[in-house]
Amino acid sequence: MDINDTSTFQPVVADVLAISGGRAGSVVATVVALAGAVVGGVAVVRSIGRRGPDRGPGDRIGSGLAAVVLGLSGAVLGVVLAATADGDVGSGNGRGGAFVAVVLGLIGVALGGVARTRTRGVA
């Protein structure tokens, strides 16, 4: 085989501008996890300082629960995508985005939990 013959060589790295299945999945997981982190942050701020219209404790409990559910969903999607990605980080298959989704999802779960405990008066 000639060293310059590239007919049988298949690159594992995705094209820079292509949206592969792994990239699209990691974008979805990251957006879901980011939504959980944002909702959790807003719920914590509202549970501390009573910003915005007060719609009762049910609203803050619901926001905390939404943050936990969104964060957990994003983290689970990120773990599944990281486990099934073909290449390493930087190969364009979504593994780096999956790791970001896991971290953001855990932040959303933590913030949602804090908001729920503050609203219930347990903390």
* Per-residue model confidence as pLDDT tens digits over 75-117: 999 899 888 877 777 676 778 888 999 999 999 999 988 888 8
pLDDT at residue 17 in the model: 66
pLDDT at residue 81 in the model: 86
Tokens matching residue 118 = 């503050």
Cα dihedral 11, 15, 18, 23 in deg (nearest 10): 70
| In the predicted structure, residue 118 carries a pLDDT above the cut 60 | yes
Round to whole Å and give the CA distance between 123 and 115: 10
pLDDT at residue 3 in the model: 60
pLDDT at residue 22 in the model: 72
Tell me if 65 is assigned to some domain.
Answer: yes
> How many domains does the structure of the chain reveal?
1
* Per-residue model confidence as pLDDT tens digits over 36-63: 999 888 888 877 765 555 555 555 567 8
Tell me if 1 is assigned to some domain.
Answer: no
Enclosing domain of residue 61: 30-48+55-120
Cα dihedral 98, 103, 108, 109 in deg (nearest 10): 100
With 0.95 as the threshold, say if the pTM is over it: no
Tell me if 21 is assigned to some domain.
Answer: no
Mean predicted confidence (pLDDT) in 56-74: 77
Tokens matching residue 9 = 């060589």
Tell me if 93 is assigned to some domain.
Answer: yes
Tell me if 75 is assigned to some domain.
Answer: yes
pLDDT at residue 123 in the model: 42
